[in-house]
Amino acid sequence: MNQSKSIRVLLVEDEAGDAYLVKMALKQSHGINFEVTWVESLTLAKQALMDSVFEVILLDLSLPDSEGLDTVEIARQMAGDVPIVVLTGRGDTEFALTALKAGANDYMIKGDFGFDGLARVIRHALLRVEMEEHNKLLVAALEAAANGIVITDRNAIIKWANPAFSSLTGYDLGEVIGQKPNELINSGVQNALFYEDMWRNLQAGKHWRGEIINKRKNGSLYHEDLSISPVKNNHGEIVNFIGIKENISERKALEEILYKMANTDPLTGLFNRRVFLERLDQESDRISRLGGSAVLLMLDLDFFKRVNDTYGHATGDEVLKSFANVVRKNSRNIDISARFGGEEFVILLPNTGRDEALIMAERLRKQVSEIVIEDPKGMVKITVSIGAALLSMRDMDSEIVLNRADSAMYTAKESGRNQICWSED
């Protein structure tokens, strides 16, 4: 997404006060200019979409000419591929999932935009659309290839299969005739209930489609997109089933790669800054709703520039990776660790108090001081300065706790480095 150009927003909201708050929230966004067109009904939105091109739609669900999830469905038909962000006064997860299923790309609770929250949701919606378009291109390429086709009788016994089926599964045509697909290539990954549900739908005359993991003749597993359609005779009786099998293993692997590229730092494997800020916002929201506390650790490697200048960037990279390994080794499953930039790292410790956090921080500090990296110019040793701050219900904005932890970290550096400083604010 090109952040240098303006993002054209169609705001569909019948309450002038709410529309004003949305426009003000977007106006205060840093780094992106939003051009907002405000309309008060779906009818006017339809005309606006005919007259102009928009990159995102902000949609209130209660309008003069539509109400509830019907609003999302109608807007989805009108908007085409334009992402829709629902603005709602409801915060329950079930409703949010229903809105997403109805065609929304994301949602936000009115009056809870937070710092740059609405702009961030819009950016993420646009990024997801870009990713979806990229994935569609990959899927189209896969669909252009020859798919495996298999025809069975009403009892799911194979009567015929094409060469692509043999290529996909490794079985010759003579080996599959008279066999059942779920016995021949069953990987065991899906349980018996999975196949019972599939068979129940097919016997009811319904089309079935889903992703499944199957096994080749040589024992290797592969992902496939399987589509099965019943074939009926003139009396309406099912006489055959036609299955179309598309190998999507490459797509699955690429999706995993793309996920890692989008969410992790390529050098250390820790989360990147964007993901951490999202998780921090989520934890802040959770604490504001349910109570409790969390601790944020801000960590900065001491004299890291000196390491790069003296030993080179390759050794500097080894230092960063070694440090990341120490962080992973000492983190719980619920902890969120990220490379924030350069030699700066952050760790969010949910459900953690001051004493517990300081114990972990001291353990990290000690283990980092024991790191030794071999280099032709000598042994490289490092230390880390750590700032810690409590995230609690009084923090209305997660940016506040970031600033406190950052300030504490710099206090640790100014006090001699290789130590921990707790923010008392």
Nearest to 423 by CA among 410, 396, 397, 405: 405
145-248 matches 7-142 in CATH topology: no
Q: Which two tokens mark 255?
A: 């999706």
| Alpha-carbon distance values, 150 to 15, 142, 233, 360, 389 (Å) | 56, 18, 18, 58, 61
CATH number listed for the domain at residues 145-248? 3.30.450.20
Interacting residues of 344 by C-beta distance below 8 A, sequence separation 6+: 298, 299, 300
**Neighbour count for residue 58 (Cβ, 10 Å):** 26
Residue 145's pLDDT is: 41
pTM for this structure? 0.48
Q: Which residues are catalytic?
A: 343
Query: What is the Cα–Cα distance from 334 to 352, expressed in whole angstroms?
Result: 11
Residue 103's pLDDT is: 84
| Angle CA 96–98–101, to nearest 5 | 110
| Alpha-carbon distance values, 356 to 37, 136, 361 (Å) | 50, 47, 9
Query: What is the Cα–Cα distance from 244 to 147, expressed in whole angstroms?
Result: 7
Q: Report helix, strand or coil for 337.
A: strand
pLDDT, tens digit only, all 425 positions of the chain: 555 578 999 999 999 988 888 888 888 877 788 999 999 999 999 999 999 999 999 999 889 999 888 888 999 899 888 999 988 876 666 777 788 888 888 888 877 776 778 888 888 888 888 888 887 775 354 334 468 888 899 999 999 888 888 889 999 988 999 999 888 899 999 988 998 999 999 999 999 999 999 999 999 999 999 999 999 999 999 999 988 998 998 888 888 888 888 899 999 999 999 999 999 999 988 888 888 889 999 999 999 999 999 999 999 999 999 999 999 999 999 999 999 999 999 999 999 999 999 999 999 999 999 999 999 998 999 999 999 999 887 776 788 899 999 999 999 999 999 999 999 76
Q: Where are the domains of the chain?
A: 7-142, 145-248, 264-422
Helical pair 249-263 and 117-144, crossing angle rounded to 10 deg:
160
Nearest to 19 by CA among 33, 48, 47, 39: 39
| Alpha helices, DSSP H, located in 178-266 | 181-184, 192-203, 249-263
Q: What are residue 263's phi and psi, to 5 degrees?
A: -120, -10
Residue 4's pLDDT is: 55
| Contacts within 8 Å (CB) and 24+ apart, 361-367 | 361/297, 361/386, 361/388, 361/420, 362/420, 363/330, 364/297, 364/299, 364/326, 364/327, 364/330, 365/418, 365/419, 365/420, 367/326, 367/329, 367/330
Top-tier CATH class for 7-142? alpha beta
Query: What is the Cα–Cα distance from 296 to 388, expressed in whole angstroms?
Result: 6
Residue 102's pLDDT is: 83
Nearest to 421 by CA among 383, 385, 368, 370: 385
Say if CB 423 and CB 408 are below 8 A apart.
yes
Say if CB 6 and CB 35 are below 8 A apart.
yes
Residue 204's pLDDT is: 93
**Neighbour count for residue 112 (Cβ, 10 Å):** 12
CATH number listed for the domain at residues 264-422? 3.30.70.270
| Alpha-carbon distance values, 92 to 109, 114, 256, 281, 384 (Å) | 10, 18, 29, 17, 41
Query: What is the Cα–Cα distance from 295 to 363, expressed in whole angstroms?
Result: 15
Query: What is the Cα–Cα distance from 76 to 81, expressed in whole angstroms?
Result: 8
